[in-house]
Structure 1
Amino acid sequence: MRIAVLDHDRSQADLICQVLTAAGHSCQSYDSGKELLAHLRKDSADMLILDWLVSDMNAVEVLRRAREKMPAHTPIMFMTTSSGEDDIVAGVAAGASDYMIKPLRRGELLARVQAMLRRAYPSQNGAEQLQFGPYVFETRPGRLLMEGEVIDVTHKEFYLALLFFRNIGRPLSRAYIHEAVWIRETAVPSRTMDTHVSRVRNKLQLKPENGFRLVPVYSYGYRLEKLGTPGTQ
């Protein structure tokens, strides 16, 4: 899905796009309301994520004008640093579908975005298949196959494995893995994550002969590496 992000804070916009791109979406960020609206005059987006503190325009005006240029079902989520009722009511009244309060949590952001997209585009919610070498992930039923055979994994093991495969070659920190897989669970012991990673490694047989290797990154997290064609040097 194509997601447009408006945030005057470049680091915040980069973080949002990093999370969404890792989940398979196309993400484009904008620094100003005028820049975003100019884009929407020429092209479309499947979803908008808007910062309430727009630097060059009133946020309500940006939201209303964006809504005028898009199909009614297009989800729009706004972000605010305040939990005050006035901002939330104003945003929803201007056409927002949902809101999040900063600071953003990666896991919650992704969960909310995915839920909004499923509601807005039900016809695209079939059993998406993602294939990486001998591994096939069927995202809707949460089923994982290796060379056509179903692998018995738990819900968290499935999404942990998918997270690694969507980020092949990229070191993932423990904090990032925690936010993406455990989401709202705040107290997850380090050994719990290590146990899940070990189970994923063993159940998926992530070893050189199968073309992949899941390795720890010292004092940081883990990285899934794609090796040469199995059976070759």
Structure 2
Amino acid sequence: MATDILLIEDDRSLGAVIKDFLEREGYLVQWCTTGEDGLTFLERTAVKLVLLDIMLPDIDGFTVCAKIRSAQSLPIIIISARSGDDDQITGLNLGADDYMGKPFSIGLLLAKIKSQLRRSYGNQAENPLLRDKDLVVDTASRSVYLNETPINLTVKEYELLVLLLENAGKTLQKDWLFDRVWGVDCFSEPSTLTVHIGKLREKIEADPKKPRRIKTVWGVGYRYETL
């Protein structure tokens, strides 16, 4: 199931307050108390935004921030008692979209969350459904259905599918797709894109070996053809 917000915070009192407040505002929240648990959750579940503490009991939040940013482009807001200029500069340079020093106003946090979600998903909020005959992508819940049956996609597979559908009929270069989904500073090999396209075809194509939707444009990239 898709999640709106992943909260990575080891302070159980503060974590409980934030989670309860955001859920009362209508958000689906997953709370992890360690960086490793947060990263593991992100590997298997689509998330719209991450709230990230820096002082965690295992790996520090800066490392978590860098790992998240190397894998995907979702908004990251750091919330930390380490609020000096050097820490804020480090967090922002590692890819955080905003940085809030503790203690903070829960109302201000909510406003920043709404701002980041609006900035990142504004167009999707206005047009939440992407359709191609029996294939439907609900960008509001980050859910995908084929013949009205839910399909379980990884975060990368989902992001690739949305990009392809949003640009149906256009040939998208491999480098452009890779940079958009993995980030320009990602250390993964570009061949990762080919692997993920193959896995995506297995899930949405009637015959993955003879794809009708995701076409390969040899020497260039891929093009999504609507049925």
Give the letter for the 2:62 counterpart.
Answer: V
Q: Which runs of 5+ in 1 are unaligned?
A: 129-233
2:66 aligned partner: 64
- Higher Rg of the two aligned structures: 1
Distance of 1:103 and 1:113 partners within structure 2: 16
2:110 aligned partner: 110
Structure 2 residue 90 is the aligned partner of structure 1 residue 90: yes
Per-residue CA deviation, residues 135-188 of structure 1 (Å, 9 max, x unaligned), is: xxxxxxxxxxxxxxxxxxxxxxxxxxxxxxxxxxxxxxxxxxxxxxxxxxxxxx
Give the letter for the 1:120 counterpart.
Answer: S
2:54 aligned partner: 52
**How far apart are residue 127 of structure 1 and its match?**
11
Distance 1:127 1:107, change over 3 A: farther
Contact 2:83/2:100, CA 8 A, preserved across alignment: no
Contact 1:19/1:110, CA 8 A, preserved across alignment: no
Contact 2:54/2:82, CA 8 A, preserved across alignment: no
Could you tell me the TM-score, scaled by structure 2's length? Answer: 0.52
Distance of 1:92 and 1:50 partners within structure 2: 12
Per-residue CA deviation, residues 32-69 of structure 1 (Å, 9 max, x unaligned), is: 00101111111121000000111101221111111223
Give the letter for the 2:104 counterpart.
Answer: L
The alignment-based identity, stated in percent, is 31
Which protein has greater RCO, CA pairs closer than 8 Å, 6+ apart? 2
Distance of 1:105 and 1:67 partners within structure 2: 26
Among 5, 8, 13, the residue aligned to 1:6 = 8
The aligned length equals 126
Distance 1:118 1:19, change over 3 A: same
Give the letter for the 1:4 counterpart.
Answer: L
Give the letter for the 2:60 counterpart.
Answer: N
Distance of 2:70 and 2:96 partners within structure 1: 12
Distance of 1:16 and 1:57 partners within structure 2: 22
Distance of 1:17 and 1:121 partners within structure 2: 21
1:119 aligned partner: 119
Distance of 1:127 and 1:105 partners within structure 2: 32
Distance of 2:106 and 2:28 partners within structure 1: 17
Contact 1:49/1:79, CA 8 A, preserved across alignment: yes
